[in-house]
Amino acid sequence: MALRSRLALSFCGLVALAPRLPASPVSCTIHPEKGASQEKLKSLAKISEEDARKSALVSLKDSAGATVKETELEAEHGCLVWSFDILLAGKAGIQEIQVDAGDGKVLSSKHESPKAEAGEKARDKAKS
């Protein structure tokens, strides 16, 4: 019975602490304030656009035919990232690669079809 009581108290302690845990992913190094200006984001970035671009391109299996279409420094899911839209030779759509603006590590890489890319552009336009 004493073990159950201790487990219950431990669980209650975890529940009480849950609201204090960080809401953003811990896999990135810089967590900007929500709504931070572009100037503020630039001041927080430790990795240059050029170094982030190199990391993004190196992460591709074949970067020979890759062309960076768009680059943006942004807060995405609570993380400060360099986001690259990359055209790949012979492949429709874009490869979106996000690089941590604090340490230069690739956080995500996903392929977007032309339809998905158009949808994302429309959502971004509606936000601004």
pLDDT at 62: 86
pLDDT at 13: 42
Range of the domain at 107: 2-127
The CA distance from 119 to 125, in Å, is 10
Q: What is the pLDDT of residues 78-90, one digit of tens each?
A: 999 999 999 999 9
We report the CATH number of the domain holding residue 100 as: 3.10.450.40
Given 3-state DSSP classes, what are the helix, strand and coil percentages for the chain, each rounded to the nearest 5? 40, 30, 30
Per the structure, the count of domains in the chain is 1
